Amino acid sequence: MAENKWGMIVDIDKCIGCQACVVACQSENNIPINEEGHFNQRRAIEWIRIERYWEGEFPNVRARFVPVFCQQCDDAPCEPVCPVYATYHNSEGLNVQVYNRCIGTRFCANNCPYQARFFNFWEPEWPESLKNQLNPDVTVRSRGIMEKCTFCIQRIRRSTREAAKDGQEVEDGDRGMSPACVNACPTHALTFGNLDDSDSAISKQSKEELKQPAGSRPGGRGYHMLEHLGTHPNVVYLKKVDKTAEEHEVHG
C-alpha cells in the first residue's frame, strides 16, 4: 500500500464565506451546539471557521474570507507541549488528538499559532431527540477535553477499510473519504487528498502552485499560512487574486 500523507488545498480566490463547510463539520463531527452564551464567552467550537478581514472603509471597502482549521503541521507546536502525549503525529501525516489521554492542560491550544484547537468548557448537551442525529463513528467529547479538526479521520478509515475488503485502494477524490467540509463546499474551494501519491490531484496542484517564483498564473499562487513559523503545514492556501492589488500587498 502506498504511503499516505493527507493534505488540503484551500483556494481563497474561490471561497465566498458561505459557512456550508462550518455546518457540515458540526453535523459530521458531533460538535456541541454553540449556544448564545458560548459565543459571548468566546468559547464557541468551530473546527473549521471562516475568518473575515476588513480592508479600507466605505465606499472603498473590502472584506476577505479565509477558512481556518487545523493545518496538520509536520512540525506541530501543539505536540511537544502535551505532557501526556494526547496529541501526536500519526503515520499518515495527521496531527491527532487522543481524547481519552487528554487531561485538559490546554497547553496545546496555547501553542497553536492557528488557534485551531478548542476546549470543551462544558459537558456537551443535546435534547434527547437531537441525539438521534449524532454520528456513531465519532466520539462525543466530554468536558475538559481538547478537540480539533481531524480531517474527518473516521471517513478515511471507513473508506480505506471498505476498499481493502475488495482488495482495492481508495481512489483519489473519493467522496466517501473526503472530509465533510470538502464535500459541502459549493465553489469547490477545498481539495483533499494524498500528498504522497504523485498521481493525486492535490499533489499535482500543490506542486504547481507552490513553484517559484510565486505570483504568476497559472500556478504559483500557493503559500502556507504563517509559513515563517516553520510549522510545515499540510494545508496549502492559494492566494486571493485581486487585479487592483499591488504585488505582495500585506493583509491579515
Partner 1 sequence: MAITRRQFMTYVGGSAAGAVVFQACGVPADELLVQAPVEMPEDLVTGLDNWYATLCRQCSTSEGIVVRVMEGRAKKVEGNIDYPINQGSHSARCEAGLQALYHPDRIRGPMVRVGERGSGQFREISWEDALGRLTEQLQNIQNDGNQSSVVMATDPVGGHLGGVVERFVSKYGGRHMGYEPMERTTVRRAIKHVFGQDTMPDFDIENSNVVLSFGADFLNTWGSPVRHARGYGEFRQGDRERGDFIHVDSRFSMTAANADKWVFVNPGTEGLLALSIAQVIIDEGLGDAAAAQALTNNGRFNLGAFAPDNVAGATGVSAERIHEVAVQFASHGPSVAIGGGSAGAHTNGFANLVAIYSLNQLVGSVNKPGGVILNPTSPFKDVPVTAGVDSFADWHRLAEEMRNGGVQVLMVRDADLFHGLPQATGFKGASFNVPLIVSFSGFIDDTTAMSDLVLPQHNSLEDWGSDIPDAGPGYQTVGFQQPVVRPFFEHRGEHLGTRNFGDTLMAVALGLEMDLELPGDTFQDVLKDGARQLFEENRGSVKAVTFEGFWNGLLQRGGWWDDSKKETHVFAASPLVEVPQASFSNRDFYLMPFATTGIGDGRGAALPWMQATPDPITSATWQTWVEINMHTAEELGISEGDVVRITSDAGSIEALAYPHPGVSPNVVAVPVGQGHIAGGRYAKDRGSNVYSILDASSDSTTGALAWAATKVDIVKTGEWKRVPKLENTVTEPPRDDERLIIEITPLDS
Positions in 91-130 near partner 1 (CB under 8 A): 96, 98-101, 113, 115, 127-130
Alpha-carbon distances, residue 134 vs 27, 29, 64 (angstroms): 8, 8, 33
Binding mask 68-87 for partner 1 (x = CB under 8 A): x-------------------
Residue of 2, 63, 84, 103 that binds partner 1 (CB under 8 A)? 63
Q: Considering the rule CB under 8 A, would residue 143 count as an interface residue with partner 1?
A: no
Distance CA 180, CA 20 (A): 10
Q: Over the Cα atoms of the chain, what is R_g?
A: 19
Q: Which residue has the cell 492535490?
A: 202
Tell me how far, at minimum, the Cβ of 196 lies from partner 1, in Å.
20
Of 24 and 195, nearer to partner 1 (C-beta) is 24
Where does this chain touch partner 1 (CB under 8 A) — which range of 70-78, 157-165, 166-174, 194-202? Answer: 157-165
Check: CB of residue 147 under 8 Å from CB of residue 25: no
Of 22 and 195, nearer to partner 1 (C-beta) is 22
Residue of 1, 83, 166, 228 that binds partner 1 (CB under 8 A)? 228
Residue of 143, 175, 211, 232 that binds partner 1 (CB under 8 A)? 175
Check: CB of residue 242 under 8 Å from CB of residue 227: no
Check: CB of residue 172 under 8 Å from CB of residue 159: no
Q: Considering the rule CB under 8 A, would residue 237 count as an interface residue with partner 1?
A: yes
Distance CA 162, CA 179 (A): 16
Q: For 182-228, give the DSSP string.
A: HHH-TT--EEEEETT-TTSHHHHHHHHHHPSSTT-SSS--EE-TTGG
Tell me how far, at minimum, the Cβ of 74 lies from partner 1, in Å.
18
Of 3 and 242, nearer to partner 1 (C-beta) is 242
Residue of 4, 6, 7, 11 that binds partner 1 (CB under 8 A)? 11
- Enter the C-alpha cell of residue 204: 499535482
Site residues (CB under 8 A) for partner 1, limited to 180-219? 180, 183-189, 214-217
Of 143 and 161, nearer to partner 1 (C-beta) is 161
- Enter the C-alpha cell of residue 43: 468559547
Residue type, 83: P
Q: Residues 186, 152, 198, 221: is their CA dihedral positive or negative?
A: positive
Where does this chain touch partner 1 (CB under 8 A) — which range of 47-55, 75-83, 166-174, 195-203? Answer: 47-55
Where does this chain touch partner 1 (CB under 8 A) — which range of 59-67, 70-78, 166-174, 195-203? Answer: 59-67
